[in-house]
Amino acid sequence: MKSLLSIIMAIACMSFFSCKNAHTYDKYVKELDSLKVVLQQSVDNFKTVDSTTCVNAYSKQYTYSQFIETHLKDTVTKSVAENLQNLQSVKQGLNDYLSLRSNWLATANTSIKQLQTLSHDLKNGSVNEEEAIEFINQEKKQAELIIEELKVNTETIRKHLEVYNQSLPVCENLVKELNLGVLPQLISPEIKRNN
Q: Are 167 and 86 in contact (CB under 8 A)?
A: yes
Q: What is the pLDDT of residues 74-93, one digit of tens each?
A: 999 999 999 999 999 999 99
Q: What is the pLDDT of residues 4-13, one digit of tens each?
A: 434 444 444 4
Question: Total structural domains in the chain?
Answer: 1
Nearest to 65, CA basis, from 180, 194, 164: 164
Q: What is the pLDDT of residues 38-66, one digit of tens each?
A: 999 999 999 999 999 999 999 999 999 99
Beta strands per DSSP E along the chain: none
**Residue 112: inside a domain, yes or no?**
yes
Q: Is the pLDDT of residue 150 over 50?
A: yes
Degrees, nearest 5: CA angle 151-38-99: 40
Amino acid sitting at position 35:
L
**Residue 43: inside a domain, yes or no?**
yes
pTM beyond cutoff 0.85: no
**Burial of 106 by CB count in 10 Å (0-12 exposed, 13-18 middle, 19+ buried)?**
exposed
Amino acid sitting at position 134:
E
What is the C-alpha to C-alpha distance for residues 147 and 46, in angstroms, rounded to an integer? 10
131/19: higher pLDDT: 131
Mean pLDDT computed over every residue of the chain = 89
**Residue 77: inside a domain, yes or no?**
yes
**Residue 16: inside a domain, yes or no?**
yes
**Residue 167: inside a domain, yes or no?**
yes
**Residue 27: inside a domain, yes or no?**
yes
Mean pLDDT of 88-113: 97
What percentage of residues in the chain have a pLDDT greater than 70? Answer: 87
Nearest to 129, CA basis, from 21, 15, 19, 16: 21
Q: Is the pLDDT of residue 99 over 50?
A: yes
**Residue 129: inside a domain, yes or no?**
yes
**Residue 71: inside a domain, yes or no?**
yes
pLDDT for the residue numbered 128:
84
Q: Is the pLDDT of residue 16 over 60?
A: no
Q: Are 54 and 157 in contact (CB under 8 A)?
A: yes
Q: DSSP label at 181?
A: T
Domain residues for the domain of 166 are: 2-178
pLDDT for the residue numbered 169:
98
pLDDT band at 20 (very low <50, low <70, confident <90, very high): very low
pLDDT for the residue numbered 195:
57
